[in-house]
Amino acid sequence: MTAVRPEEDRLATIGAVQRTPQRGATRPPAARTIIVTAVLALVAVYFLVPVYWVVVAASKSTEDLFTTNGFWFAGFQLFENVGQVFAFDDGIFVRWFFNSLLYAGGGALVATYLAAAGGYALAVYDFKGRDLVFGLILGGVLVPGTATALPLFLMFSNLGLTDSYLGVLLPSFVSPFGFFLCRIFAGAVVPASLVESARLDGAGELRIFHTFGLRMMVPALVTVFLFQFVGIWNNYLLPLIMLADEQLYPITVGLVNWRAQTDRLPEFYELTTAGVLVSVVPLVVLMVVLQRFWRGGLTEGSVKG
Amino acid sequence: MSAPAAPAARSTGARPAVSRRRPARADHAQRRAPWLLLAPFLVLFALTFVLPIVYAVGQSFTRVERQGLFGEDGITSRFAGLDNYERALGDPAFVDSIWRVLLFGVVQVPVMIVAVTILALLLESASAKWPAFFRAAYFAPYGIPGVIASILWSFLYLPGFSPIVAGLQALGFAPDFLGPQTVLWSIANIVTWSYAGYNMLIVIAQLKAIPGEVYEAAKVDGAGPFRLAWSVQLPLIRPALVLTTVFSIIGTLQLFAEPQVMRAVSPAIDVKYTPNFAAYSSAFSYNDYGVAAAQAVVIALAAFVLSFVFLRLVSRRDS
């Protein structure tokens, strides 16, 4: 796994350092390794137990959910349950899933492009009002997302944009944090000499951005995309406020609706747990596989300054 | 200093000016280009950030009056001065909710940041086995939306359903995760579970940025692992700790999804349990947009002031 590599490099350097001066203390004592690893394993149990529980719960019948040990399997029927989740109410869950994918994927794609263009503009051009623009957008980073959700709804309802895909997508197109990352990254990787020589070759300004700028900014763009994707995927308040039509719900709002029905209809326990499992798996896999990119981008944001 | 403040300093180190002698047409294109590139972002930023804030502030000073029993004779809005703010802050439930999240923040944020720092230091120490696996395990919950994490944990808190409650009862304890005294900390647990891994990655990123020579020098000076962590690593990862703390403070003031979902299992949670929940309820349960706007403005101001005060406190210690 590539994610491990820099780690090994670092450990190697420390190892080398330790070897040279005093020969005695090369390796940490075995007792310390055992204690540290035991602590880390205990913490891992805390983070993983709820996920494990969902897997177990999603494989049970409603009856077994209440009568058997919650941490152990009984009457394994995971596939029937998942099948039920997909089939329920003419496949509404599948629709929610694709809605989430549309909001998060489409929103993050546009947001990344817009942040890249803006960040590049601030980094490459020197123009009047540049600092003002940057300060304004930086302020946006500190504005709580939920503070704007309510007034956005009131504004959008005057414009007739509520209860539509655009009502959720338009606010998702804007990522001040992504803009900030792109600005820093473009400043570091796009050389002025390259822009200048492309100009001498007769390339237009927008063309230079699209052919050179975007390509050089790819590492930052991946990070911005991931942040925005997860941010939108996890968002609950905005779609909850904006949408009334069940057909437009993302997975978060839909599952809370199912959860709310468990009080009256116990079979919703089974639907909800299996639905939670299905919705959690792809993102957790994505998180773990793409860990490397998260780190790269975070370093860009938090350490560069 | 925190990351957001840094680039301002960077941007003053302007790029080398573009060459002086060039045709007027090209000059014009170069003056126009940045605005062309910025325009789509700025338009949407204005629509979804600036205007809503202006609108919310305007709304918070407005009273809507309905003529007739159901407003059938028309609706008029007029300037209400500070009425909405008076009503918002005169509601003891809303004031209580502010104190509640402050108490939450004072306990949960430091606990989480300290835990995250210890975990990051352990993971980056030479004593840890399988660091990549542990890192992935801790980070995984970040991919689970807050509401879904809340659904999950609400099941795990529920007596008669949760294996954790059953296990504790079998051991002779009588856990009550949903009572009026405890449910706030049950929510704190959900928040910590969701965000600890993410914050840990930020701290680890900064730990990795410490150059090898620093470790070398510490080693030559004979520093043990504790000494190394306390006097070398901690001071160097301060920017990451400040950043994660500020984001956690902002997050605390925004608490909404967790209490809203937990309300289904805990009668101790009312519709004004957190400030954000109160604002939501004012708007959608009571149709009182003026008060809801005033509450939203109060929350945003509080987030801003708290972050600012914290940054000031931290930077004063520097000088």
Partners of B216 on chain A (C-beta within 8 Å) are: 17
pLDDT at A127 over 70: yes
Q: With an 8 Å Cβ cutoff, are A144 and B254 in contact?
A: yes
Chain B touched by A102 (CB under 8 Å):
no
Closest partner residue to B141 (CB to CB) among A47, A259, A298 is A47
Predicted pLDDT at A263: 80
Whether residue A304 has pLDDT greater than 70:
no
- Using a CB–CB cutoff of 8 Å, tell me whether A142 touches chain B: yes
The DSSP-derived string for A179-216 is HHHHHHHHHHHS-HHHHHHHHHTT--HHHHIIIIIHHH
- The answer to whether the CB atoms of A304 and B6 lie below 8 A apart is yes
Give the pLDDT of residue B101.
94
Render B130-179 in DSSP notation, one character per residue. Answer: SHHHHHHHHHGGGGS-HHHHHHHHHHHH-TTT-HHHHHHHHTT----SSS
Confidence band of A39 (pLDDT split at 50, 70, 90): very high
Q: Give a three-class secondary structure readout of B175-243.
A: CCCCCCCCHHHHHHHHHHHHHHHHHHHHHHHHHHCCCHHHHHHHHHCCCCHHHHHHHHHHHHCHHHHHH
Give contacts of A126 with chain B, Cβ < 8 Å. 14-15, 17-18
pLDDT tens digits along A133-187: 998 998 888 777 777 888 899 889 989 999 999 999 999 999 998 999 899 889 8
What's residue A193's pLDDT?
87
ipTM entry: 0.82
- Taking CB atoms and an 8 Å cutoff, what residues of chain A touch B47? 170
Tokens at A57, concatenated:
């719960």
Structural domains present in chain B: 91-318 (1.10.3720.10)
Question: Cα separations (Å) of B95 from A145, B80, B143?
Answer: 21, 21, 33
Q: Which of A54, A234, A305 sits opposite B152 (nearest CB)?
A: A54
Q: Which of A71, A179, A301 sits opposite B3 (nearest CB)?
A: A301
In the predicted structure, residue A198 carries a pLDDT above the cut 80: yes
Q: Which helix (H) or strand (E) holds B275?
A: helix B275-284
Spatial CB neighbours of A260, under 8 Å, sequence gap ≥ 6:
B264
Buried b (16+ CB within 10 A) or exposed e, A256-287: bbbbeebeeeeebbbbbbbbbbbbbeebbeeb
Residue A145, pLDDT score: 73
Which of B28, B42, B127 best probes binding to A when mutated, by most A CB atoms within 10 angstroms? B127
CB contact under 8 A, A47 and B193: yes
**Whether the predicted pLDDT of A302 surpasses 60:** no
Residue contact B37–A115, C-beta within 8 A = no
pLDDT confidence of residue A65: 81
pLDDT value of position B72: 65
Taking the CA of residue A102 and the nearest CA in chain B, the distance in Å comes to: 16
Residues on chain B touching A167 (C-beta within 8 angstroms) = none
Where does chain A have alpha helices with state H? 5-19, 30-58, 62-67, 78-101, 107-124, 130-142, 145-159, 165-172, 176-189, 192-200, 205-208, 214-216, 218-234, 237-242, 251-261, 267-289, 291-302
The C-alpha atoms of residue A235 and residue A164 are separated, in whole angstroms, by 16
Label residue A7 by pLDDT band (50, 70, 90): very low
Query: pLDDT at position A301, please?
Result: 40
φ, ψ of residue A70 in degrees (nearest 5):
-65, -20
pLDDT of the residue at A232: 93
Which residue is closest to A206 within chain B, CA to CA?
A: B33
Chain B residues touching A305 at Cβ < 8 A: 1-3, 5-7, 9-10, 239
Per-residue pLDDT, B318 = 58
pLDDT in tens, A78-114: 889 999 899 998 999 999 999 999 999 999 999 999 9
Q: What is the pLDDT of residue A14?
A: 38
Nearest Cβ partner of B253 from A144, A151, A235? Answer: A144
Give 10-residue mean pLDDT values along chain B (319 residues): 39 45 69 92 94 90 75 74 91 94 94 95 88 89 90 90 89 89 95 93 87 87 86 88 86 90 91 93 88 90 84 72
| Average predicted confidence (pLDDT) for chain A | 83
Q: Do A142 and B4 touch (CB under 8 A)?
A: yes
Contact A205 B146 (CB under 8 A): no
Q: Which residues of B touch A255 (CB under 8 A)?
A: 147-148, 151
Dist. CA B165–CA A107, nearest whole Å: 41
Cα B40–chain centre separation? 27
- Cβ of A206 within 8 Å of Cβ of B36? The answer is yes
Q: Do the chains contact at A287 and B156, CB–CB below 8 Å?
A: no
Residue B131 has its nearest CB partner, among A7, A134, A259, at A7
Nearest CA in chain B to A46: B193
pLDDT exceeding 70 applies to what percent of chain A?
A: 86
Amino acid making up residue A70: G
Using CA coordinates, name the residue in chain B closest to A24.
B222
For position A114, what pLDDT does the model report? 97
Which residues of chain B are within 8 Å of residue A151 when distances are taken between CB atoms? 52-53, 55-56, 59, 293, 296
CA distance A90 to chain B (A): 22
B125 vs A28: CB contact, 8 Å cut-off?
A: yes
Res B3: pLDDT: 39
State how far the Cα of B42 lies from the Cα of A170, in Å rounded to an integer: 13
Contact between chains at B152 and A125 (C-beta distance less than 8 A)? no
* Chain B partners within 8 Å of A213 (Cβ): none
Place of tokens 């009457």: A75
Helix/strand/coil percent split, chain B, to 5: 70, 5, 25
Give B49's contacts in chain A (Cβ within 8 Å).
Answer: 140, 143, 148, 174, 176
Q: Do B26 and A46 count as a contact with CB atoms less than 8 A apart? A: no
Token reading at A35: 């204690």
Domains, in order of start, for chain A: 89-302 (1.10.3720.10)
- Asked if A38 has any chain B CB less than 8 Å from its own CB, the reply is no
Residues of A in contact with B142 (CB under 8 A): 230, 287
Contacts of A7 in chain B (CB under 8 A): 131-132
Interface touch B7/A154, C-beta < 8 Å: no
Q: Which of B36, B41, B210 should be substituted to probe chain A, the one whose Cβ sees the most A Cβ atoms within 10 Å? A: B41
